[in-house]
Structure 1
Amino acid sequence: MRNPTKTAVATVAALLVPLTTGLAAIAYADAPDGPSSSPSATPSEASAEGFPLHIKGGGEYYITIVGQQTSGHYSYVKADGSIVAVTQQPPEGMSFPMNQVRNGNIPLPSHLEGARIFVSKKPMVMPAAAVGGQPSDTGYVQPDLNNPSDPNQGNIYDFFEYTFDRGRVAFGGDTTQVDGFSLPIAAELKQDSSGYDRKVGIAGRKAAALIDQYRRQVAGTPFASLVNADGTHITAPRSASTFQWGGAGSTYFYLAVKKAWEQWTGDGSFKLADGDSVYTGGTGGPGTPLKFKKEVNGQKVASGSVQMPSSSDVAACANTLATGSDTEKFIEAQLCAAFNRGVAQNQTDTWGDTSKYYQQAPFNNYAAFFHDVSYDRHAYGFAYDDVHDQSSVMILPNSDTPTSLTLTIGT
């Protein structure tokens, strides 16, 4: 895993939008119960210290931009750059058509965290969360395509996510397939003052052709069932019933996990180095926890354990692989990345060798596909794809304003 600066750590943390599952997915910020009366309840103009968002190839699409300007309170950005609380959205919602955008440029504010830029064929239906029976800007209802009655069913959409607070949190953003795929989006981030210029995502491709290619590449695996009936959306493994208990892929990673747990039987059988830190330990065999200690320059500084994950835990990077102390979460991320990439059976000092990724089954065929079709083979195909710097995240080297962000939308 890369060793990010403190600014980068703050950026990555701010990118995370907690979701609940159920009939609706709601993005909530940490906030007191009850309706909000925060400063974000009043429309405001975008700051002159913000930056332009350029949209290319999106003439027939709608844009929806939602994030937090005030911690714990969600607002949306209008086509002219003005910012309004999600509770004040009109009946037609927060989306605007591209024909309302001047020259394809949208002014973005100097501060917006946990933000998502949705691109969709039709307006998105994402009302404010309800708290105590009243609309609240502490959250907003996001699409849940696993729910047949979700009002966004049939609306082809995708999104770019980012966070930025000028002078405090460096811009960090990414294209992502962690939740699924419907539209190819390429992103280019520039900052002239630092010379930063990077492109990520999927460029020059049509969605239908990509989904057809995906079908061919994953044929004969449980990942083939992730394409919806009309061939317009691919659900990510972590969100699909296929990889949950009772699904056709619910045991897909089981033998790989079992083999690794057998391989690491006995204290000292597991050893993972990360800079000056060395993690050493072992299991008692399948079904037992992996217990380890962390040493820095030969001195023990922490210890922890990881329960043997289920196949579903690996597919979702969740539960046993997303719990405990920061030390335990570090090891869990490393393990989940290794299992998804099909390298857990290799020596841990080779887990960063990208030439070995997605070569030995079982591995995450969904993630492998999106790495194949993305710029520089960097993609967010699963939640811990940033381990060994393989994700599509772009983080500026400072918290100054970007020069521009350009999104190119495929058809």
Structure 2
Amino acid sequence: MSPAHPTWPRRHRGLLTAAVALLLLACLAVADRTGTPAHAAVPPAPGPAPAAGDPPPASFWGDTGAIPPAQNVLTVQILNRTNGQYPDDQVFWSFGGQTRSIAQQRYVDMPANSAGRMYFHLGSPDSRYSDFIEFTVGPDAFHGNTTRVDAFALKLAMRVHGHDGTDRQVGEDYATFQESREATWQKFAAAMPPEFASLSQVQAPYRIPSPGNVPDFQPGGKHAAYMSDYARSVGRNVSTQEVFGCSGPLAGDAPGCAALNRHVAELPQNQWGDPSRFYRQGPANYYAQFWHQHAIGSLAYGFPYDDVAEQSSFVSVRNPQWMVVAVGW
């Protein structure tokens, strides 16, 4: 009768030990080649890339539940979303005569104010890498926007939340925040027609100015007639610079200026507010079009009257609770 626990011959025990050792070595070799243990699960494939116009996910805005309640009208939090290019002690905000890095102070208890601006700087408090948002804050309301009317310098997005649950997000879209500044800059340059080529060059690497702010489109510039010929064709005697800046005779004509920038002024006026018709033909303000194409919900302020047909990044929230501003690179 065989014993309950048979004793293996020494030769068999040695072969078994060698086999186990070889198996362990094979597993270690696989782990060394792949950087992952042989038995580890394969990580899931990344999800689809964010599409143009998509808002950031909730995680992008951080823990909004930790934002302290305001003693004034609303609490503003500034977030570093530079993809690791700048540490918190090199992300600065300026408002109300104060300048701080977000390492020093990331919350601002904002009082009521009129025609206010908050500036943001990367690198140093007086860096030329600088941009801003603008707003008017009443005792029980916030009205404000991101803006590309003057130029693009830094990626900005803001989220305003009201005590009643109202929640609005505007600014550059999530895909734009995810890519490098160089990629955004190159994407802009590639999207422009030849007449707009200087926009990505004249103030590089700090800013991409709007077309009315570059010499090419100003009186005497090589593209000074770019919009004026089209304007005359629809009965408007205005310069290209006046079209892009909604100035001169267009200063009091928001629908007319918007129609010229979007190249819909030749259409019946009841079609001027149809976004599907905007920028389909040139000449047009392709600078403004680009920022719409890369903005949350396609809403942007690309020229002064871009709020016509509710296409701007303006938000109005009653009884605001907090605002988060993301500063990107």
What's the TM-score once normalised by structure 1's chain length? 0.58
Structure 1 equivalent of residue 158 of structure 2 = 187
Question: Secondary structure at 1:361's aligned position in 2?
Answer: coil
8 Å CA contact 2:171–2:296 kept in 1: the answer is: yes
Q: Which of 192, 196, 215 is 2:166 aligned to? A: 196
Following superposition, the deviation at residue 122 of structure 1 comes to 4.4
Structure 1 equivalent of residue 321 of structure 2 = 403
Q: Which of 227, 235, 240 is 1:311 aligned to? A: 240
Give the distance between the partners of 1:209 and 1:232, measured in 2 at CA.
14
Whichever residue aligns with residue 55 of structure 1, its letter is I
Any unmatched runs of 5+ in structure 2? 1-69, 82-87
Structure 2 equivalent of residue 210 of structure 1 = 184
Equivalent runs, 1:82-161 vs 2, <5 Å: 95-101=99-105, 104-109=106-111, 111-124=112-125, 155-161=128-134
Structure 1 equivalent of residue 250 of structure 2 = 321
8 Å CA contact 1:173–1:395 kept in 2: the answer is: yes
8 Å CA contact 1:182–1:207 kept in 2: the answer is: no
Equivalent runs, 1:212-291 vs 2, <5 Å: 212-220=186-194, 222-228=195-201, 230-261=204-235
Give the distance between the partners of 1:361 and 1:344, measured in 2 at CA.
12
Structure 1 equivalent of residue 306 of structure 2 = 385
Structure 1 equivalent of residue 91 of structure 2 = 61
Question: Secondary structure at 1:215's aligned position in 2?
Answer: helix
Following superposition, the deviation at residue 309 of structure 1 comes to 1.6
More strand as a share of residues: 1
Question: Secondary structure at 1:385's aligned position in 2?
Answer: coil
Following superposition, the deviation at residue 249 of structure 1 comes to 2.2
8 Å CA contact 1:251–1:312 kept in 2: the answer is: no
Q: Which moved more, 1:385-394 or 1:226-235?
A: 226-235
More helix as a share of residues: 2
What's the TM-score once normalised by structure 2's chain length? 0.71
Structure 2 equivalent of residue 149 of structure 1 = none
Give the distance between the partners of 2:125 and 2:244, measured in 1 at CA.
28
Give the distance between the partners of 2:322 and 2:223, measured in 1 at CA.
42
Give the distance between the partners of 2:258 and 2:223, measured in 1 at CA.
18
Q: What's the % identity of the aligned pairs?
A: 29
Q: Which of 23, 38, 52 is 2:75 aligned to? A: 52
Deviations 1:242-272 (A, max 9, x none): 21101122111122112111xxxxxxxxxxx
Q: Return closer, same or farther for 1:219/1:308 CA change in 2, 3 Å cut-off.
A: closer
Q: Does 1:357 align with 2:286?
A: no
Whichever residue aligns with residue 342 of structure 1, its letter is H
Give the distance between the partners of 1:237 and 1:162, measured in 2 at CA.
24
8 Å CA contact 1:211–1:232 kept in 2: the answer is: no
Following superposition, the deviation at residue 208 of structure 1 comes to 2.2
Following superposition, the deviation at residue 316 of structure 1 comes to 1.2
Question: Secondary structure at 1:403's aligned position in 2?
Answer: strand
8 Å CA contact 2:117–2:134 kept in 1: the answer is: yes
Count of residue pairs the alignment pairs up: 249
Whichever residue aligns with residue 61 of structure 1, its letter is V
